[in-house]
Amino acid sequence: MALIESLRLVLAPPHPAGRPFIIGGAAVAVVGGLLLGSWLFWLGVAFTLFCLYFFRDPERVTPDRPVFVAPADGRVVSVAPAVPPAELGLGATPRWRVAIFLSVLDVHVNRSPVDGIVTRIAYRHGKFLNASLDKASDDNERNALAIRLPGGQEIAVVQIAGLIARRILCNVREGDQLRAGERFGIIRFGSRTDLYLPEGVKPVVTEGQLMIGGETVIAELAPAPNPAAAMAPGTVL
């Protein structure tokens, strides 16, 4: 059964964003095999198989409890306080940021880390540095989403282009409701995804840890602050 489950992950249906590449590779293989020789046929086959693997979009099982889950597959390259992208308007107070690097071998579908409403989407042009570098969060081309939780807290999820990534796709709009683990976009060919947690929420993951998008727990969902309770008699601030 373990082998079957592993094959299902590898042979998962491709994300719609991969269809043009898969069809193009198949066309090259057919034309090459019929007209130009076997070398082009095998090149087309190899490219098609790579795209089928790269754009795979497996189903995930999201924990049924109040937590933040990983917005992407990959390896954690940074866990540190940082200020969210200015274009989202979430303030200048540093909060915990978990940065996930996606190699070309990882699933590149992005998923919502929590239930919430997309309040702002901001795209910014930038460089195409190695996405594993810390400065990639500030310098690289990116697409940032602000998501408001039911309790009023806000988080940021940032899709960041990498060294060979040249296209960030986002399938949601401002005002859309997302469920934890729900797909909202994809980044083509190597990238990074940053998650900025709400103020006061600390991650439970460490650098070097491998993430499974939509499944790995990054932090526990702390209750939203209650200003009235904070000012109640006898409250210690």
Residues 222 and 37: their CA atoms lie apart, in Å, by 61
More confident residue, 6 or 45: 45
Spatial strand order in the sheet of 210-211 = 177-178, 116-124, 142-148, 154-161, 191-196, 95-102, 74-82, 210-211
Ranges 145-154, 159-168, 216-225: which has the least confidence: 159-168
Strand (E) positions, 48-188? 67-69, 74-82, 95-102, 109-111, 116-124, 142-148, 154-161, 168-170, 177-178, 183-187
Position 142 pLDDT exceeds 70: yes
At residue 37, the pLDDT reads 67
Contact 214, 74 (CB under 8 A): no
| Joined tokens for residue 221 | 């969902």
Q: Which residue has the tokens 């409890």?
A: 65
Nearest to 182 by CA among 114, 117, 106: 114
Residue pLDDT, tens place only, 111-128? 999 999 999 999 988 777
Q: What is the mean pLDDT of residues 142-165?
A: 90
Cα distances from 208 to residues 76, 98, 101, in angstroms, run 5, 11, 10
The pLDDT confidence band at residue 182, using thresholds 50, 70 and 90, is: very high
pLDDT given for residue 203 in this prediction? 96
Instruction: Show me where the domains of the chain are located.
Output: 1-55, 67-220
What are the structure tokens assigned to 169, written together? 């796709």
Active site residues: 191
Quick check: 237 pLDDT over 80? no
The answer to whether the CB of 166 falls within 8 A of the CB of 151 is: no
CATH of 67-220, one of 1.10.10.10, 3.40.50.1820, 3.90.950.20, 2.70.70.10: 2.70.70.10
* Higher pLDDT pick, 34 / 151: 151
For residues 213 and 185, what is the distance between their CA atoms, to the nearest angstrom?
Answer: 12
Please determine, for residue 236, whether its predicted confidence score (pLDDT) is greater than 60: no
**Measured distance CA(216)–CA(100) in Å, rounded:** 12
Sign of CA dihedral 89, 74, 11, 142: positive
